[in-house]
Amino acid sequence: MVNFPKPLLLDTPFEKWEWDDVPKYRREQVRHWIFEKGFLQWDKMSNIPKNLKSDLAKKVDLAPMEPVKVQGSTDTTQKILWKLRDNQFIESVLIRATEGTKGVRASRLTLCVSTQVGCALGCKFCASGLDGLKRNLTTGEIVGQVLMARNEAGRRIDNLVFMGMGEPLANLPALLPALDTILSPQGLGIGARHITLSTSGLVPKILELANFPAQIRLAISLHGGDDETRSKIMPINKRYPMTELLGACEKFIGQRKKMITLEYILIKGVNDDLKQAELLAEHAQRLNAKVNLIPYNRVDGLDWERPEKEQINAFYKTVEREKAPRVTLRMEKGHDIDAACGQLRLKEIKSQ
Ligand code: SAH
Ligand code: SF4
């Protein structure tokens, strides 16, 4: 735990803000400034009396972080590097896509959110895990990414994916209250079906999450069809091997009646042979899960590579042929801006 000089207001759910004798309507005005307008500076709140603002400013911090670098373009993908109050760095990524059916096209904005500074799980291919875990993010730092990225984008965020730095399920004590604020119409008002948590497979936490009341979506980072392949790149597989992981997914689905997604990054010569594609399709069928194939994004300092186009296509076709319920191939947007999680932060740390 880090001890900051002042508590962060966003760490506490709105209903539990304790301001002693501050009248209810004033609290509602502050809530409006923060969640409806996205203002995280006391002095900008024009209808709040000056002395109250300076009292509040002495007691609590409003802004969990500041943007230090924004990379990419406003019509595709933008990566934001944040500096936290203890000078740690994290990243969030804004991803724009045009979606729609029957001729109605809409532009959708997705935010990829971080949940930890670094990651303890040390997947061999991942930039976030290279340096180990520094610390968990607080509730306010998770909510703050959404609020402040919304300010950067200048529009509503439609979808959230917890696929940034860190393992969301290793930080449930901070994440679940953050989700309450994100889901609440009094907070950010983003619907549960627009929120996806991605996990490398923390079995007991998957079972715990199955009891969370809101119908948020779950994605499992599988990256291997069998234990041998998965264990080569994901140390977590030794603690929770695939039988246990798939069993936990089955229980999760049983309780939630929502399709889950199996994420599968394709790494040349490591997990891209067609036998793995067959196994992946088998698991997807058993769980009635969607499969999302993601060609690997190179990470500075690591030797892993994405397979050739032909191999990627052959893998995709095999998963489809073997009757996985639904398969998508996500050519990573922002390949050019270090889009894989954790890369921008590593560069920032190295440059200091
Ligand atoms: N810790 C969670 C969520 C964060 S990682 C998890 O592992 O699921 C989000 C996703 O990005 C995971 O599927 C992860 O395997 C993937 N990923 C990590 N490094 C990557 C890279 N270099 N290229 C493509 N995907 C990557
Ligand atoms: Fe952690 Fe996910 Fe990266 Fe693995 S892939 S090291 S679990 S952030």
Query: What distance in Å separates the CA atoms of residue 323 and residue 289, rounded to the nearest whole number?
Result: 11
3-state SS string for 113-155: CCCEEECCCCCCCCCCCCCCEEEECCHHHHHHHHHHHHHHHCC
Q: Decide whether any atom of ligand 2 lies within 6 Å of the 119 Cβ.
A: yes
| pLDDT (0 to 100) of residue 4 | 80
**What's the pLDDT tens digit per position in 142-158?**
999 999 999 999 999 99
Q: What are phi and psi of 228, to 5 degrees?
A: -60, -50
199 lines ligand 1 (CB under 6 A): yes
Tokens of 265: 């990054």
Q: Which residues contact 316 (CB under 8 A, 6 or more apart)?
A: 293, 327, 329
Mutate to test the pocket of ligand 1, among 163, 172, 237, 299 (most ligand atoms within 8 A of CB): 163
pLDDT digits (tens, 9 = 90+) for 216-266: 999 999 999 999 999 999 999 999 999 999 999 999 999 887 899 999 999
Neighbouring residues of 225: CB distance < 8 A, sequence distance ≥ 6: 271, 275, 276, 277, 278, 279, 280, 282, 283
At 162, list the tokens: 């917890």
- How far is ligand 2, taken at its centre, from the CA of residue 257, in Å? 27
For residue 337 the two structure tokens come to 């801006």
Annotated catalytic residue 119: no
CA-nearest residue, atom 12 of ligand 1:
221
Q: Is 91 a catalytic residue?
A: yes
Decide whether any atom of ligand 1 lies within 6 Å of the 299 Cβ.
yes
CB 182 within 8 A of CB 174: no
Lowest mean pLDDT among 57-66, 100-109, 281-290: 100-109
How far is ligand 2, taken at its centre, from the CA of residue 226, in Å? 19
How far is the centre of ligand 2, averaged over its atoms, from the C-alpha of 285 (Å)?
A: 25
pTM of the model: 0.94
| Token pair belonging to 2 | 């880090």
Closest CA to 61 of 4, 145, 142: 4
Distance CA 120, CA 130 (A): 9
> Please, what are the domains in the chain?
9-59 (1.10.150), 65-349 (3.20.20.70)
